[in-house]
């Protein structure tokens, strides 16, 4: 352990970590990053195949984003966003409104994904209160969902790993059984089904629709649940239910926005629009903590009135609309548009999935390799035929992660699901290298 690692462990409490694990695997101190690679203080390189928690959209140290931020730094670093504004925020809204699903047109700025979700929940609640439906106070969500780690976001997230211990603090939400296409109870596949599983949602809406303010969903991809992927038809059916029962449909596109699914937003695959959309992560290319909660004119109008009527949305963040974050986001939009990044990523995605199938589809412990554009998930199972899981105490995915790290690949698993979610600019050479390391690490642990 070097001196920087020792100092880190003396002071820092790392996120989503059991710090005792760091006794065996000390923190890796990163000095620089470029493209898909990170470089530590010892000179070792690592392929960032998980985009540093899915936010590094266009690679590390992207020159165009760097220059936009540097230029903004000499003009304005921050300004209060109540009764003040600035050009980068206005320009960003002008750019985003061109690409957002139809109807989304009003932008509320926050500073992280969880905050964006909290904002959406409060908007939905207050909207109904101010439009003659004060009984609509509850929220629906999908099982195994994840929407962040503030109290409201945890309440509509249902993964015990994050939420169980805090249950006495959480809101009483309505949980709908989520689609599980790998272990489909209807013996269908995601490519040939009619979303029979929507019946679970229909029953919940019939029972609780009148008291429900909003339904929040991770569209097409339940990320923290293990990159579970379900068909766009499910979103269409949810849209119908929300319309029928006057429920606000909230799209958590924090992980799926800005090309991750092969289209600008996951909802674009469905042909329908949500009422509120939460955005972060790729918004600034992973450079700056910033998020948006975008909604419709109809919802906005329910808050618009004389001040003394008390209908304003009294919700704020110190760093709302930060000019440096907006400048980074503007650079991201320009690069996506001018360099045809999303279009190119679709071709790269075909290659990645084909090569992963060649490498792993016949392995005795690989149950499924599912994919959505460049996002690929390898679900490890104890028994391929029964789809039986490994004993969680074995921490199989974590053992593979450690092996991969030693070989220069950042492959942070979701339980026993290994996944690739690289920057959209990844090339075939880097893909080949990442697959080779993954194969070596997997075989060293599982044979």
DSSP states of 91-141 as a string?
Answer: HHHHHHTTTSPTTEEEEEEESSHHHHHHHHHHHHHHHHHTTT-TT--EEEE
Query: Which pLDDT band, with edges at 50, 70 and 90, does 174 fall under?
Result: very high
Q: What was the pLDDT predicted at 101?
A: 98
CATH classification number, 3-61+340-446, choose in 2.30.40.10, 3.90.1150.10, 3.40.50.2000, 3.20.20.70: 3.90.1150.10
Q: What percent of the chain is predicted at pLDDT more than 90?
A: 97
29: pLDDT strictly greater than 90: yes
What span, in angstroms and rounded, lies between the C-alpha atoms of 299 and 129?
A: 12
78: pLDDT strictly greater than 90: yes
What span, in angstroms and rounded, lies between the C-alpha atoms of 341 and 393?
A: 41
| Mean pLDDT for the stretch of residues 422-428 | 98
| Mean pLDDT for the stretch of residues 16-24 | 95
85: pLDDT strictly greater than 90: yes
Q: What was the pLDDT predicted at 98?
A: 98
Q: What was the pLDDT predicted at 372?
A: 98
**6-15, 163-172, 328-337, 359-368: range with lowest mean pLDDT:** 163-172
CA dihedral 17, 19, 21, 27 (to 10 degrees): 80
Domain boundaries, the chain: 3-61+340-446, 67-338
What span, in angstroms and rounded, lies between the C-alpha atoms of 215 and 47?
A: 37
Q: What was the pLDDT predicted at 406?
A: 98
How confident is the model over 137-149, as pLDDT tens digits?
999 999 999 999 9
C-alpha pair distances (Å), 386 with each of 334, 382, 395, 443: 48, 9, 20, 21
Q: What was the pLDDT predicted at 161?
A: 85
Neighbouring CB atoms inside 10 A of 84's CB total 9
Q: What percent of the chain is predicted at pLDDT more than 70?
A: 100
How confident is the model over 268-286, as pLDDT tens digits?
999 999 999 999 999 999 9
77: pLDDT strictly greater than 90: yes
Query: Which pLDDT band, with edges at 50, 70 and 90, does 160 fall under?
Result: confident
Q: What was the pLDDT predicted at 51?
A: 98
164: pLDDT strictly greater than 90: no
Q: What was the pLDDT predicted at 159?
A: 86
Q: What was the pLDDT predicted at 191?
A: 87
What span, in angstroms and rounded, lies between the C-alpha atoms of 223 and 147?
A: 10
Instruction: Give kind and range of the element (H or E) at residue 342.
Output: helix 341-360
What CATH class is the domain 67-338?
alpha beta
200: pLDDT strictly greater than 90: yes
Average per-residue pLDDT for the chain: 97
| Mean pLDDT for the stretch of residues 401-428 | 98
Spell 295-334 as b/e; 16+ CB within 10 A means b.
bbeebbebbeeeeeeeeebeeebebbbbbbbbbbbbbbbe
């Amino acid at each position: 352990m070097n001196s920087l690692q020792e100092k880190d462990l003396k002071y820092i409490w790392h996120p989503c970590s059991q710090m005792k694990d760091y006794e065996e695997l000390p923190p890796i101190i990163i000095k620089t990053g470029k493209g898909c690679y990170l470089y530590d203080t010892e000179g070792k390189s690592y392929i960032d195949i998980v985009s540093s928690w899915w936010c590094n959209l266009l690679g590390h140290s992207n020159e165009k984003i760097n220059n936009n931020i540097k230029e903004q730094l000499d003009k304005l670093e921050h300004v209060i966003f109540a009764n003040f504004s600035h050009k980068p925020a206005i320009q960003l809204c002008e750019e985003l409104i061109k690409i957002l699903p139809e109807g989304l047109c009003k932008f509320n700025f926050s500073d992280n994904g969880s905050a964006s979700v909290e904002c959406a929940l409060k908007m939905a609640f207050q909207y109904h209160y101010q439009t003659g439906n004060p009984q609509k106070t509850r929220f629906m969500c999908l099982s195994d969902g994840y929407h962040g780690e503030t109290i409201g976001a945890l309440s509509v997230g249902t993964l015990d790993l994050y939420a169980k211990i805090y249950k006495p603090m959480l809101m009483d939400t309505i949980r709908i059984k989520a689609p599980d296409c790998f272990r489909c109870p209807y013996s269908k596949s995601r490519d040939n089904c009619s979303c029979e599983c929507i019946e679970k949602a229909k029953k919940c809406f019939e029972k609780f629709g009148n008291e429900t303010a909003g339904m929040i969903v991770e569209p097409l991809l339940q990320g923290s649940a293990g990159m579970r992927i379900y068909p766009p038809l499910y979103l269409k059916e949810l849209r119908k239910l929300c319309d029928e029962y006057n429920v606000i449909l909230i799209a958590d596109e924090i992980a799926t926005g800005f090309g991750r699914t092969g289209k600008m937003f996951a909802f674009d695959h469905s042909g329908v629009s949500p009422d509120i959309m939460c955005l972060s992560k790729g918004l600034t290319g992973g450079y700056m903590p910033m998020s948006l909660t975008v909604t419709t004119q109809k919802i906005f109008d329910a808050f618009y009135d004389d001040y003394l009527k008390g209908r304003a949305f009294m919700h704020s963040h110190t760093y709302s609309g930060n000019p440096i974050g907006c400048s980074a986001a503007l650079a991201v939009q320009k690069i996506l548009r001018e360099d045809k990044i999303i279009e190119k990523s679709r071709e790269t995605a075909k290659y990645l999935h084909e090569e992963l199938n060649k490498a792993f589809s016949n392995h005795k412990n690989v149950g499924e390799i599912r994919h959505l554009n460049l996002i690929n998930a390898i679900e490890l199972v104890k028994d391929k035929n029964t789809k039986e899981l490994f004993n969680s105490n074995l921490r199989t995915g974590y053992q593979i992660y450690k092996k991969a790290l030693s070989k220069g690949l950042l492959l942070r698993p979701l339980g026993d699901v290994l996944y690739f979610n690289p920057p959209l600019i990844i090339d075939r050479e880097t893909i080949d290298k990442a697959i080779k390391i993954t194969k070596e690490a997997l075989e060293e642990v599982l044979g």
